[in-house]
Amino acid sequence: MLIDCDIHVGYESLLDLVPYLDGPTREHVLHAGSNGLAMPSYPWYHPTGWIRKDAYDAAATASGRQIPGQTLPTLQRLLLDPFDVTYGILTPDEAAAFSIYPNAQLAARLATAYNDWLAERWLQEDARLRGLVVVAAQHPEAAADEIRRRASDDRFVGVFLPGGARAPYGNVIYDPIWRAAAEHGLPVVVHTHFDGVGLSSPVTAAGHPDTYAEYHVLCGSGMYGHFVSTVYSGVFERYPDARMVMSEGGVVPFLGYLWRLDTDWKACRSEIPHCRRLPSEYVWDHVRFTTQPLETPEDPSDLWPIIRHLRPERTLLFASDYPHWDFDEPTHTLRLLPAEIRDAVAYRNAGELFRLGAPVPL
Kindly report the CATH number assigned to the domain that includes residue 227. 3.20.20.140
User: What is the spatial distance between Cα 221 and Cα 200, in angstroms, rounded to a whole number?
Assistant: 13
Domain-located, residue 252: yes
Phi, psi of 45 (to 5 degrees): -125, 135
Residue 60: inside a domain: no
Predicted TM-score (pTM) of the model is 0.96
pLDDT at 69: 61
Q: Which residues contact 112 (CB under 8 A, 6 or more apart)?
A: 20, 146, 149
Give every CB contact of residue 264 below 8 A, 6+ residues apart in sequence.
Answer: none
Beta bridge partners of 316: 289
> Residue 190 sits in which domain range?
3-9+71-353
State residue 255's pLDDT score.
96
Examine residue 241 and state whether it is found in any structural domain, yes or no: yes
pLDDT the model gives residue 55: 85
Confidence (pLDDT) at 11: 93
Alpha-carbon gap, residue 258 to 248, rounded angstroms = 17
Q: Which helix (H) or strand (E) holds 263?
A: helix 252-267
pLDDT in tens, the chain (362 residues): 999 999 999 998 999 999 999 999 999 999 999 889 999 999 999 998 888 888 877 777 655 555 666 799 999 999 999 999 999 999 999 999 999 999 999 999 999 999 999 999 999 999 999 999 999 999 999 999 999 999 999 999 999 999 999 999 999 999 999 999 999 999 999 999 999 999 999 999 899 999 999 999 998 899 999 999 999 999 999 999 999 999 999 999 999 999 999 999 999 999 999 999 999 999 999 999 999 999 989 999 999 999 999 999 999 999 999 999 999 999 999 999 999 999 999 999 999 999 997 655 54
Total tally of structural domains belonging to the chain: 1
Give domain status of residue 124, yes or no: yes
Q: Tell me, what's the pLDDT at 49?
A: 85
Res 54: pLDDT: 87
Tell me the residue type at 30.
L
Q: Which residues contact 261 (CB under 8 A, 6 or more apart)?
A: 228, 231, 232, 279, 280
Residue 152 lies in a domain: yes
Residue 131 forms beta bridges with which residues? 90, 156
Element (H, E) at 349: helix 349-353
Judge whether 24 lies within some domain: no
In a domain, 20, yes or no: no
Domain membership of residue 277 (yes or no) is: yes
> End-to-end CA distance of the chain, in Å?
14
pLDDT number for residue 61: 64
